[in-house]
Structure 1
């Protein structure tokens, strides 16, 4: 099986720099995993180094961004796009919530993204562990903004409520792709309606921003892409990101096509102007926890606005 050759706009610089090295060492000291490394994210060097080349407007003066992956480096599911290993689950590390909080304080992050592997093997699928980590961070550094990028928890409302009760600033859950392609892109235990139900619960019963992400280039049609933000806005999702799927290895799902940057710009306009998302980050190298979305949310939350106030302000601006 051959891998599609990448166009020039997907060329990436290798990770480097003092800040990158510092963050990597601190994470190793606390025995923590990041999705940046486990999923071979193309923006690892940029985000960890606080690069000034960020399309979302990074200045290069910030502390950098890392997405911490909780509950181990092995997942109970086997999505065909993902490079995280499957099976052979380890017991939870009960010290992880506090270790994460300590590492974030030592790194100096004022915005952190927490995500996790799926843990269908656990009675609560890891929701309690995830919530404890959020609370540990907020207890140690109340000013730190926390984005929780959560699994679907098999659509069980009481588990989603555990995350909501921990009061992260943003709750994200990725639909990943259009409705028709949920399989073969995602594990068969995941599905479009289940993911929408999670996001709807976040938007209806929490004070957190609701956020999701789609990969393009897996065989979707334009009309299917257009339908998806409509479905998301109907249930109250605030922020959406679009990025290019990149095949991690020859054993993973093949890339159907490389979407041109101009097309990503079109989808950003569609999301923001036609569907009234508060914000959309869209580009070939954008990922769900990409810093462009973080910068937007941080700007609003640092101004002291509530989610409802930010939504009302955005609507007022669009109506003028």
Structure 2
């Protein structure tokens, strides 16, 4: 199917604007920090940074703005890896304090060029934030670190509140969607190790609209619950440029709502954020975890709070 067909009305977004957006952008630039919001061309950047329907948020992207892998869905630049910035962990902690975040999301590029995949740097950033204010909730969206268990254990030992790792798509479509160094079983093994080694909440995300069949999505949910993954998100794949993977279809919002119900009611995930504009780091998911962990509300109350503000 053609990838440049007209987008449906439900995929329209508002451009970035507002004082809060300007403040966050200035804070990040002053400290030479990257966000996945910008580097991955996230369609929710205007909504999240502008603070519509809640406080402004940003997802910090660690270890540079270039990735050692080349996934066909992702807009982050590939190759030309730079040395790690040793000041980045403290700079992120400073930015979190200045912006006034109570819930922080950290992610990173893949750094296969580093012996530990950058896991020590990642862990140092988590600790820098927690040392500054232990009340801040920290969610991390980690690479697979090539399946290295020691690297995964470093993240666990830093004690974030949520560890996310994305399977991205169903098993059959791992290639051409993802870089060949990634893989379905490898991603499952990352999430499984976190669940077996800790009581930290786990999370993953899938894109729809890349050619998956319903029975494959269903099987993926089954595989994720087999290893006790807690939270799952579904979002629409959007082609960043003509050189990226084609969009197979634009999935209707009703289908996303069906998958939300299947995930929560049939498979028993604690929470599912599902909608065309949902991304793995998404405010509704953050609000759910915040209500569950900080406020100690019930799972159903946490779901209701997240949907009241986040819309999914």
Instruction: Identify which of 213, 218, 222 aligns with 1:221.
Output: 213
Report matched runs for 1:78-227 at 5 Å: 78-227=70-219
Structure 1 pair 14–267 and aligned structure 2 pair: CA distance change class (3 A)? same
Question: Secondary structure at the residue paired with 2:82?
Answer: coil
CA distance in 2, matches of 1:201, 1:185: 24
Match of 1:57 in 2: none
Instruction: Identify which of 272, 292, 300 aligns with 1:300.
Output: 292
Report matched runs for 1:266-285 at 5 Å: 266-285=258-277
Instruction: Identify which of 219, 242, 246 aligns with 1:250.
Output: 242
Structure 2's unaligned 5+ residue stretches are 304-312
Structure 1 pair 2–175 and aligned structure 2 pair: CA distance change class (3 A)? closer
CA distance in 2, matches of 1:2, 1:99: 39
Match of 1:236 in 2: 228
CA distance in 2, matches of 1:141, 1:111: 11
CA distance in 1, matches of 2:28, 2:136: 18
- The TM-score, its normalising length taken from structure 1, stands at 0.92
- The TM-score, its normalising length taken from structure 2, stands at 0.94
Match of 1:69 in 2: 61
CA distance in 1, matches of 2:5, 2:71: 20
Contact 1:217 1:244 in 2 (8 A): yes
Question: Secondary structure at the residue paired with 1:4?
Answer: coil
Number of aligned residues:
301
Structure 1 pair 51–184 and aligned structure 2 pair: CA distance change class (3 A)? same
Contact 1:69 1:116 in 2 (8 A): yes
Question: Secondary structure at the residue paired with 1:213?
Answer: strand
CA distance in 2, matches of 1:200, 1:177: 17
CA distance in 2, matches of 1:159, 1:212: 18
CA distance in 2, matches of 1:50, 1:92: 31
RMSD value, Cα: 1.6
Match of 2:40 in 1: 39
CA distance in 2, matches of 1:201, 1:66: 27
Q: Deviations 1:117-168 (Å, cap 9, x if unpaired)?
A: 0000001010000000000000001111000100000111111000000000
Match of 1:56 in 2: none
